[in-house]
Structure 1
Amino acid sequence: MTDIYFVKSDVHFTKTEKKIIEYIIASPQEFIRRSIGEVARCIGSSEPTVSRFARHCGYADFKELKNAVLQHVSEENPPAGKLSSTLGNESASTPDGFLRRQQYCIERTLEFLDDKILDNAADAILDAETIYVYAKGASVSMADLLKFRLNRFGRRVILLPAGSSELFEYMNFFTEKDLVILFGFQKTPKEASVLLDYQKKIHYKCIFFTSRLYHSLDHETVIPLYVFRGEPSEYHSMAAPAALLDALVVMLGAKLKETSSGQLDSLYRLKEHYKTEIPR
């Protein structure tokens, strides 16, 4: 077992202690943030067992083991390590701690960001005749922001109703040349599930902003954009989704180049012309 970076000596570990080892290797940053009681609950064990494990690894206590993991993470990935260190010492309930927590969420989102998938999403937006956007709850703010951004590029965007059978009135006009953008995050709304199912029949493309890793989705027709917003029990901010959304918008601007600049210049001239009637 000495090939594991946080194990100082070659000792025999119990079945439960091996579960702790697997947990640390798989989620070192989560391990750093958690208390000894939280780690015990995650693996279905007790605090004394976790404490004994730390001593078996060659450390005086759990805190010393956690510091060793933190040092390793900092050396392997300096930005994430610094954030983890800060998060281990600051409460997310304070303004400073909360903002640093959102910084961490953006860093985690970046870890899973696939430039090729983001590029596919941008191309899908540019190729679509009509873009339909579905969101509900707090995610509606992201739908509104996306519509605002895409309108500036001359895209035709329609916000779908959050619920009720009114959704079918729009679905009836979907074609394979359209694009549906969904916001689902932790759970997939039942309406979003219907839109994904209907996609199999009409074959329109979908972009899915989600906090779950949907490995089974067909990337040719459903493009998943993963966003990390924290643990399931935490308060979930829209900071990371907004950052990813704007990253997508920046990519669109780069692809459009002169066309994008011309449309924005036209918008500026329009505002200037009527600035006395409608002040900017």
Structure 2
Amino acid sequence: MQNVTETIRSYYEKLHPGEKRIADYILSHQDSVMDATIQSLSDKIGISTASISRFTRHLGYPNFRDFLIALSASKKNSSSDFFTEIKQSDQSEQIVKKLFSAGIAALTATAANINMKDLDRVVDWLVSSNKIGFFGIGGSSIVAFNAYHKFLRTNLNIVSHPDYDIQIMQAAHLTSEDLGIVISHSGRNQDTLLVENKLRENGSKIVAITAFPESPIAKNADIVLNSYSEEVNFRQESMSSLVAQITIIDTLFTLVGHRLNEQTDQVINSMRRVIEQTRVRK
């Protein structure tokens, strides 16, 4: 089930100033908003009812009533606040619980909001493309290289590299027969966007993995797989975001392995034999 507050936060950076006022009020007054009429909410925020209607449609709800129903359901199904504040007075045990809670919340929200049709389509592209590139800068390079490490266990032709200049060159070599998977938490990293633009120029299929479906990188992709993460102070890009993105990659790998069962088993068994030779024996 789509969580309304998570959706608002993922779209927030791309909202117009008036829409941000609506979003800020709803996020701060969820309990009272659930019992409000569109006119009473308009009076409290000081924004027209037409603006509120456009805001709810922007988020994917046909009308204000459907938005309130979804908001109420989200509140009932929410086990914790999506934003976690680590206070200076927090003890180690409290910090640990909040961080683990953030990771669990990210996985739960990502699983609840994943589009299965898009996921199946990405799997189709993975198994049918001549070459697949995984691209990411900074923290997202960890996710990209994790994907490369996993998919080495298949018979797919894959490329990835942590160096940006090499990523650009790899993207330049991909064609309309290939697939680029671009990873960016914010969806606004300029270098990643340049890689994506190079893929677009070559006619490659593009999948974006990001927490912001309205970001430039998301809008420039053919398919967007949304990751959700609990925002934690002290960390601009939380580790829970990486956890959600790595789990998306792991899901794709598992689905591909299931689709290419025999071929994948052969590669995995071969790699196990090679890796076993590197183990220290007692």
Instruction: Check whether TM > 0.5.
Output: yes
Report the secondary structure of 2:114's partner residue: coil
| Residue in 1 that maps onto 2:44 | 16
Q: TM-score, normalised by structure 1?
A: 0.64
**Structure 1: runs of 5 or more not aligned:** 27-69
Which deviations, in whole Å up to 9, do the C-alpha atoms of 1:94-119 show, x marking residues without a partner? 11111111111122212320011111
Report the secondary structure of 1:224's partner residue: strand
Residues 162, 74 of structure 1: alpha-carbon distance in 2 compared, 3 angstrom cutoff? same
| Residue in 2 that maps onto 1:265 | 269
Q: TM-score, normalised by structure 2?
A: 0.64
| Residue in 2 that maps onto 1:225 | 225
Residues 123, 234 of structure 1: alpha-carbon distance in 2 compared, 3 angstrom cutoff? farther
Aligned length: 226
Equivalent residues of 2:135, 2:167 under 8 A apart: no
Q: How far apart in 2 are the matches of 1:5 and 1:244?
A: 33
Task: Establish whether residue 175 from structure 1 lines up as the match of residue 203 from structure 2.
Answer: no
Q: How far apart in 1 are the matches of 2:100 and 2:108?
A: 12
Residues 269, 89 of structure 1: alpha-carbon distance in 2 compared, 3 angstrom cutoff? closer
| Residue in 2 that maps onto 1:82 | 79
Q: CA deviation at 1:204?
A: 0.9
Q: How far apart in 2 are the matches of 1:130 and 1:169?
A: 14
**Which entry has the higher C-alpha Rg, 1 or 2?**
1
Task: Establish whether residue 256 from structure 1 lines up as the match of residue 260 from structure 2.
Answer: yes
Q: Which amino acid counterpart does residue 122 of structure 1 have in structure 2?
A: V
Residues 8, 266 of structure 1: alpha-carbon distance in 2 compared, 3 angstrom cutoff? closer
Question: Root-mean-square deviation (CA), in Å?
Answer: 4.2
Residues 173, 73 of structure 1: alpha-carbon distance in 2 compared, 3 angstrom cutoff? closer
Q: What does 1:1-280 align with in structure 2 at a 5 Å threshold?
A: 6-7=34-35, 15-17=43-45, 73=74, 75=76, 77=77, 81-84=78-81, 94-160=95-161, 162-164=163-165, 166-214=166-214, 222-231=222-231, 235=235, 236-237=238-239, 238-272=242-276, 274=277
Q: Which amino acid counterpart does residue 247 of structure 1 have in structure 2?
A: T
Report the secondary structure of 1:206's partner residue: strand
Q: Which amino acid counterpart does residue 175 of structure 1 have in structure 2?
A: T
Residues 261, 233 of structure 1: alpha-carbon distance in 2 compared, 3 angstrom cutoff? same
Q: How far apart in 2 are the matches of 1:227 and 1:106?
A: 8
Q: How far apart in 2 are the matches of 1:189 and 1:13?
A: 36
Report the secondary structure of 2:184's partner residue: strand
Residues 74, 256 of structure 1: alpha-carbon distance in 2 compared, 3 angstrom cutoff? same
Q: CA deviation at 1:148?
A: 0.8
Equivalent residues of 1:186, 1:232 under 8 A apart: no
Q: CA deviation at 1:182?
A: 0.8
Equivalent residues of 2:150, 2:253 under 8 A apart: yes
Equivalent residues of 1:132, 1:160 under 8 A apart: no
Residues 217, 187 of structure 1: alpha-carbon distance in 2 compared, 3 angstrom cutoff? closer
Judge which range, 128-137 or 188-197, deviates more: 188-197
Residues 7, 180 of structure 1: alpha-carbon distance in 2 compared, 3 angstrom cutoff? closer
Q: CA deviation at 1:17?
A: 4.7
Residues 211, 218 of structure 1: alpha-carbon distance in 2 compared, 3 angstrom cutoff? closer
Which deviations, in whole Å up to 9, do the C-alpha atoms of 1:29-84 show, x marking residues without a partner? xxxxxxxxxxxxxxxxxxxxxxxxxxxxxxxxxxxxxxxxx996464x3xxx2234
Q: How far apart in 1 are the matches of 2:136 and 2:217?
A: 19
Report the secondary structure of 1:229's partner residue: coil
Q: How far apart in 2 are the matches of 1:253 and 1:270?
A: 20
Q: How far apart in 2 are the matches of 1:13 and 1:239?
A: 37
Q: How far apart in 1 are the matches of 2:223 and 2:82?
A: 34
Report the secondary structure of 1:225's partner residue: strand
Q: Aligned residues: percent identity?
A: 14
